[in-house]
Structure 1
């Protein structure tokens, strides 16, 4: 059994795997100056971007939740992989041949097939199904596509395929390729009965943002299909979570980030129709309603925050089901900073049917005619009542007010209340008053939170560790930035620096790791220098600050003067602290009773003052 991956191979993976390229498959990143990039953190909800990536250093850090690390750490956190699995995935992608130590067997791998094997099995399945679409047995499938305006090129672009009607065609192929029964069943390609899960159906491969096939959506096309459901999707597997999957995200993610717009449709053929018509930001959920997890995925690619406020456009049918879906979407409206809209075709056509009947331009026009989601929802509520009657207006106001009062983002309530009053034909203040009454009739979130809080214990006292951003420690922080980001540049200049030059305990711990690794000179030319330091840290706070120091932009490109300014200033601060200590002690010492000790301290004080003046002169010389 193979042992641990060799350290030099891990270092090569870190060197070859561009962290901005890997993270860019999950998060839309924008240049932030100083060689850094910024985006919305994928590990916590935020309205303003605090997630930083420094490609030159190979590090990421979120200043909101303190998650950070290198490209391997990112994959482990985002996809729930072990260290070894993350290294293997990156090695496969970037062409690194991994070698393992003999006799050093690790037992940290989770039970079940590795993710890499499940992905490989799905790739084999996708290729197989796509080839089967050209067979005689797939004539009905090709006719289905042709009737909806999808030619061979469209099928190839989206990877559409056909599953043979026999129950073991894919299973036999996977077995020939060396896949085990466990890998086939855990991945959802073969059912518990031992037969292919998808038989005699038209198939769409469902891919993650990086383009890996992780599941399939299958449509019924034969009348004698034993399964009545029109659509059959991959069940939950280690690589397929339907609440987090968006069909088409692999094709749409770059345009979503570039345009700051996402169009959410209801089915696979709608996504195809939109993309072919030029609406290349369209995605769809896979057999489930659009939910909070889907919102999180989209926000990362939208770069959805105050500075880059974009658009999220839902397309719904105009029927009762469509109105119900709109109400559901309205309930999650506050998940987005971007403005939410609805695009509804007056004739009730979905994007696929609209393209068939009226052409590509009609699909683009559908999206262009979007209306704000809140206005669409309130209009549907108000439209149920006879506004020519006084009681109808009162009932419409009450139901509309309940809806408006339920909005989590209270900054939007006033605008929605005014809109509601205008629709019903009432004074805006009357609508606002009814919304306030509706809010009082339902328990507030604050009250519910307070009730929960009373059942919990008091929060633990705050740590006595000083704030890392306290100006007192600015020189320590900036010097360590140089040590981590530019070890070759700062190199020999740190020869006089010691652990006592760092007064903040966390910064002191970072320097101790640097010293234990051989000093800054040991990091010269080492692409994994910051990762090596972070891996050696046992305190999460120290690990976090190393990732932060690795991505924070410096005030300028470091040269000898810039380096000297920080090194000499750090040493001068240490001298100043020691001078203050000696002066205090001299004041408490009797020069007659303790003459020898007094004279020794006085001599040390004079030497320190001279040393401090010399450091100041060097600082002044560097500044000039």
Structure 2
């Protein structure tokens, strides 16, 4: 039985692993201040980036959903691995040897279930690739050659061949030590009266990879007429393979998607390969399902879809099925902030056919002829009506007006309303009015930007904390000061620390964090303030458990400075500003009390209040002078 990984090894793996590099395997990050990076959160769907990474601390935090943690927590959350499995994966990545207490490291039988499934898929992919090079795969080789793919292309994309027969892969994996329970969980086998048998037989095999490049499933194309199965047969839903969350080619395309801020959505495996080989490296495809909300989440993260640019191009066949797919895509269009387009080859050829018939340049030119998705949706909808009759044109107007109303660019709406009137042969005012009515109608879904604490488990009776309102100017000043003392305490001098210590925060959450900062700083004698991660961890341990997410947020939000000098001035200025605010607030309180005090009846109290006001004013002027 494997023992526990030594704490020193865990700390070493964590410190040696670049969290930014790990996160960028899932999210496109951009600089967000000194030592800070941000991108779209991988844990929830959002339109503007609120997910921050601080490599200096080795932590991440999302200001939208309050998720935070270190690189180990990040992998565990996204990959659904155990703590031990995650540390072992990260250690293997950097070539670090782990040591275990009260036992030895895990052997092959003790590796996590998920890793065993990944290993089985890797072995299967290698088996299929080897089979493609045999004489028995002549039909598969011919199929690839007829579509313009060389053996080198097949090797690059891991294309393979499942030989005819019932148990070739089954025997191979059993010989590698996999038991029947593990094999059944892979989805690569079916069960019959005589036991298990290969799911993929006599088919061309396309390995389907996750974002990180690991094989998680397979797509199998029929090759023989006697095969009574569907044209394409994919891996069923498994622990690894969720078809609504998988995009074929994303492992190769992700960096180019981020670099070019473009994604091209095609319909098949060979279309992705053809696009990439023709010079369009941003192509991906769904795997046996329509392009949906989960796919959009993946694409938006790599596009950095924050409204500052980018484009999504759908390539559909020109037939009725392709038009139907385009209309489904338009239903999801509002979830993108990037511009969405459709590129359809006039003769109905898919990218693979186009490349074979006219070459790589024709594939690239297909994208140059793209049209806005909403225009394509309008024209596709119009085809459902008889435009030769007035009744048909009016019905077409009623069906297409909501499409025009959904155009996000309000300056384009009137232009397309007038264009639609011309296409339908109707009066412009009538069509414009129909669009305006559709635009005023309530939508089923509206985007709401809210900040909510993480949901509590039913049995957790810890009271919810009312978080500070970020729109309140006074509370914003308090939060900014707390961000400074949490992130860069070493930049504060003795005077700044005295002012911060003397401050009384207006919000209970800020008061709790303020008191924790003062207590940890005083207790450590200032020794811990230069140790970024240790300092943040000490503060997190010093606040109530329900505020640890808020402290994580304070440690992650980027400070508005582009160099060390600016950061120094900003830190001092924020503390001074907070102290000045407190002086003003105290002065207002004293003046109100002075108004209620009679100088003749309460002369001593009146004079004491006056002296306090004078002292505060002197402090304020001294602060301003500094």
**TM-score, structure 2 length as denominator?**
0.80
Relative to structure 1, is the Cα distance of residues 615 and 328 closer, same or farther in structure 2, using a 3 angstrom cutoff? closer
Deviations 1:514-553 (Å, cap 9, x if unpaired)?
5459646335346565356547765344323323433422
1:48-59 → structure 2 map (5 Å cutoff): 48-59=48-59
Describe the shift of the 1:554–1:72 C-alpha distance in structure 2 as closer, same or farther (beyond 3 A).
farther
Assess if the C-alpha contact under 8 Å between 1:45 and 1:296 holds in 2: yes
Q: CA deviation at 1:274?
A: 0.5
* SS at 1:279 equivalent: coil
Cα 1:573–1:140, aligned 2, differ >3 Å: closer, same or farther? same
Q: Deviations over 1:86-129 (max 9, x none)?
A: 434333333333444449xxxxxxx9954333223222222232
Cα drift, residue 493 of structure 1: 8.1
What is the alpha-carbon distance in structure 1 between the residues aligned to residue 59 and residue 33 of structure 2? 15
1:552 and 2:558 equivalent?
Answer: yes
Cα deviation for residue 176 of structure 1 reads: 4.5
The equivalent of 2:418 in structure 1 is 418
Aligned to 1:318: 318
C-alpha spacing 1:69/1:497, structure 2 compared with 1 (3 Å): farther
- Cα distance, 1:468 vs. partner? 5.5
Is 1:361 the counterpart of 2:368 in the alignment? Answer: no
- Equivalence for 2:222: 220
Partner residue in 2 for 1:106: none
Matching residue of 2:201: 199
Deviations along 1:203-226, one digit per CA (max 9) or x if unpaired, are 11111222122111111223343x
Question: Hey, what does 1:398 align to over in structure 2?
Answer: 398
* Higher deviation after alignment, 177-186 or 484-493: 484-493
Map 1:59-78 to 2 at 5 A.
59-78=59-78
| Higher alpha-carbon deviation: 535-544 or 250-259 | 535-544
Indicate yes or no: 2:252 matched with 1:251.
Answer: yes
Q: Which residue of 1 aligns with 2:139?
A: 140
Distance 1:534 1:83, change over 3 A: farther
Deviation at 1:344, TM superposition (A): 1.1
Q: Distance in 2 between matches of 1:439 and 1:212?
A: 45
User: Structure 1 residues 547, 171: CA separation in 2 closer, same or farther (over 3 Å shift)?
Assistant: farther
1:467 corresponds, among 466, 469, 474, to: 469
Cα RMSD for the two superposed structures:
4.3
What is the CA–CA distance in structure 2 between the aligned matches of 1:560 and 1:336, rounded to whole Å? 39
Aligned to 2:180: 181
1:313-348: CA deviations, max 9, x gaps?
111111111111122112222121222211111111
CA distance in 1 between partners of 2:22 and 2:138 (Å): 40
Map of 1:115 onto structure 2 = 114
CA drift at 1:617: 6.1
Paired position in structure 1 for 2:236:
235
Equivalent residue, structure 1, for 2:35: 35
Q: 1:2 and 1:378 mapped to 2: Cα distance?
A: 62
Decide whether aligned partners of structure 1 residues 401 and 6 sit closer, same or farther in structure 2, where only a CA change above 3 A counts: same
SS in 2 for 1:467: coil
Q: Do the aligned partners of 1:318 and 1:344 also contact (CA within 8 Å) in 2?
A: yes
Is the CA contact (8 Å cut-off) linking 1:569 and 1:619 kept in structure 2?
Answer: no
Query: Corresponding residue for 2:454?
Result: none
Q: After TM superposition, give the deviation of residue 294 of structure 1 in Å.
A: 1.2
Q: Which residue of 1 aligns with 2:458?
A: none
1:558-607 Cα deviation digits (max 9, x unpaired): 6877666666777888899899999999999999xx9xx99xx98xx99x
Tell me the residue number matched to 2:274: 273
- On the 8 A contact 1:28/1:301 being kept in 2, the answer is yes
1:58-80 Cα distance to aligned partner (Å, 9 max, x none): 23333333333332333333344
Contact 1:397 1:431 in 2 (8 A): yes
Contact residue 537 and residue 543 of structure 1 kept, 8 A: no
Whole-Å separation in 1 of the counterparts to 2:150 and 2:546? 55
d(CA) in 1 for partners of 2:382 and 2:568? 70
Distance, in Å, in 1 between the alignment partners of 2:347 and 2:97 is 57
**Partners in 1 of 2:590 and 2:102 — Cα distance?**
58
Q: CA deviation at 1:434?
A: 3.6
TM-superposed deviation, 1:498: 8.5
The offset of 1:257, in angstroms, is 1.6
Would the aligned equivalents of 2:343 and 2:366 in 1 still touch at CA under 8 Å?
yes
Do the aligned partners of residues 171 and 575 (structure 1) sit closer, same or farther apart at CA in structure 2, a change above 3 Å counting?
A: farther
Task: List gaps (5 residues or longer) in structure 1.
Answer: 104-110, 450-460
SS in 2 for 1:307: coil
Cα distance in structure 2, aligned partners of 1:427 and 1:575:
66
Asked whether the 8 Å contact 1:60–1:551 carries over to 2, the reply is no
Give, in angstroms, the shift of residue 487 of structure 1: 5.1
Partner of 2:510: 507
Q: Are the equivalent residues in 2 in contact too, given 1:481–1:554 (CA < 8 A)?
A: no
Q: Is the 8 Å Cα contact of residues 564 and 619 (structure 1) preserved in structure 2?
A: no
CA deviations over 1:487-527 (Å, ceiling 9, x no partner): 55559888868977452433343355554596463353465
1:154 aligned partner? 153
Counterparts of residues 299-314 of structure 1 (less than 5 Å): 299-308=300-309, 310-314=310-314
Q: What is the SS of the residue equivalent to 2:220?
A: strand
Name the CA distance, whole Å, in 2 between partners of 1:39 and 1:399: 37
TM-score by length of 1: 0.81
Query: In structure 2, the residue corresponding to 1:222 is in which secondary structure?
Result: coil
For 1:49, what is the secondary structure of its paired residue?
coil
- Tell me which moved more, 463-472 or 88-97: 463-472
SS in structure 2 at match of 1:264:
strand
Could you give the per-residue CA deviations for residues 42-73 of structure 1, whole angstroms, max 9, x where no partner exists? Answer: 33333333333233332333333333333233
Unaligned runs of 5+ in 2: 104-109, 448-462
1:439-478 alignment to 2 at 5 Å?
444-445=442-443, 466-467=468-469, 470-473=472-475, 476-478=478-480
Distance in 2, matches of 1:167 and 1:306, equals 52
Which SS does the other structure have where 1:33 is aligned? coil
Q: Distance in 2 between matches of 1:532 and 1:135?
A: 62
SS in 2 for 1:115: helix
Distance 2:350 2:240 in 1: 30
2:542 maps to 1:543: no
Kindly indicate whether the alpha-carbon contact (under 8 Å) linking 2:219 and 2:235 is maintained by their aligned counterparts in 1.
yes
Task: Give 1:208's aligned residue.
Answer: 210
Deviates more, 1:213-222 or 1:564-573: 564-573
